[in-house]
Amino acid sequence: MKNECQLIIIGGGPAGLTAGIYAARGRLSTLLIEKGLAGGQIMNAELVENFPGFPQGISGLELGQSMHQQAVKFGMETLMAEVTGIEVKGERKVVKTSEGDFIARAAIIASGSERHKLGVPGEDDLTGKGVSYCATCDGAFFRDRTVAVVGGGDAALTEAIHLVRFASRVIVIHRRDQLRATRILQEKAFAEPKMEFRWNSVVKAIEGNNSVRQIRLRQVKTGEESTLKVDGIFISVGFTPNTGYLKGVLPLDESGHIITNDRMETGIPGIFAAGDIRHNSGRQAITAAGDGASAAIYAERFINK
């Protein structure tokens, strides 16, 4: 693999893979760098029902793999490595990775985000021992048990709906008195007899020795504290953008997302951003794919101008 090409794409989720398809079809020498499996967060989705072209739905794993295969077919190369920084040297963008430095005329940052933690006592100690951030990954371990899901958005309800296939009881804990999830997910959740809700509640601690045994809750309106016996807790309270390596390099908003214009251009010519890592992203696979296509189109124009 050459260490110099025309375009480097950082991140292999729907945004990065779509950018790879467009860039490779444009006959740009393109390298995609991904620290894990190509596909990104969507790989954790058992069934994706809202990606156009799949009326019966498609598994996140299959969708991610298919997008990667499509980009590779057109000539995109893939490197499994962790990106640690970016330097701008004239018209060259130097992407520093765990496998060495790689150089390109332009770069598209599509490295996505990671799930927020609650930051409460017991969370780190019991991760993998009843604390999880992925129902698709760990749901089957809780067959006929009681589990809690923390959060009220699309991701949280998707996790909860998946868990009712295994658990005997799924308790959704939300800090507000109404959900933020889309209506169709709310309808599915409220119609599920094995699911119940604890409104206006936050988790104060997760307790257990070698496994989760209970969680401590606080009612946000009254301040009253209580305990809830559970065998597992799935945390889905938002995401943190993977931009730690970009501080001081690119303009970021207060939450660490990259600020772009409608061409996906950042504050540095030749560096673009796409997908969940971008300020005001729609946080959907299809919007990420649209971002990736736009970023690749304008990156190609930048390179060829």
Mean pLDDT of the chain: 93
Instruction: Render pLDDT for 162-204 as a digit per residue (tens, 0 to 9).
Output: 999 999 999 999 999 999 999 999 999 999 999 999 999 999 9
From 138, 154, 231, 276, active-site residue: 138
Residue range 250-257: average pLDDT? 90
Distances (CA, A) of 10 to 110, 203, 229: 5, 35, 42
From 101, 124, 125, 134, active-site residue: 134
Residue range 220-247: average pLDDT? 93
**Are 56 and 102 a contacting pair, CB within 8 Å?**
no
Angle at 230 between CA 228 and CA 235, to 5 degrees: 95
**Are 91 and 270 a contacting pair, CB within 8 Å?**
yes
Ramachandran bin of 183, using left for φ above 0, alpha for ψ from -120 to 50, beta for the remaining angles? alpha
Q: How confident is the model at residue 38 (pLDDT cuts 50, 70, 90)?
A: confident
**Are 9 and 288 a contacting pair, CB within 8 Å?**
no
pLDDT in the model for residue 1 = 64
Report the SS3 class of residue 153.
coil
Secondary structure (H, E, C), 170-185: EEEECCCCCCCCCHHH
Q: Rounded to whole angstroms, how far apart are CA atoms 169 and 148?
A: 8
Residue range 261-277: average pLDDT? 95
Residue range 21-41: average pLDDT? 93
pLDDT in the model for residue 36 = 85
From 101, 124, 137, 253, active-site residue: 137
Residue range 8-13: average pLDDT? 96
Q: Which contiguous run of DSSP H or E holds residue 300? A: helix 285-304
One DSSP character per residue, 155-209 reads HHHHHHHHHTTT-SEEEEE-SSSS--S-HHHHHHHHT-TTEEEETTEEEEEEE-S
Question: What's the predicted TM-score (pTM) here?
Answer: 0.77
pLDDT in the model for residue 299 = 98
**Domain residue ranges in the chain:** 4-114+239-304, 117-235
134 labelled catalytic = yes
Residue range 112-128: average pLDDT? 91
137 labelled catalytic = yes
Instruction: Render pLDDT for 58-94 as a digit per residue (tens, 0 to 9).
Output: 988 899 999 999 999 999 999 999 999 999 998 899 9
Whether 42 has a pLDDT exceeding 90, the answer reads: no
Class of domain 4-114+239-304: alpha beta
CATH superfamily of 117-235: FAD/NAD(P)-binding domain (3.50.50.60)
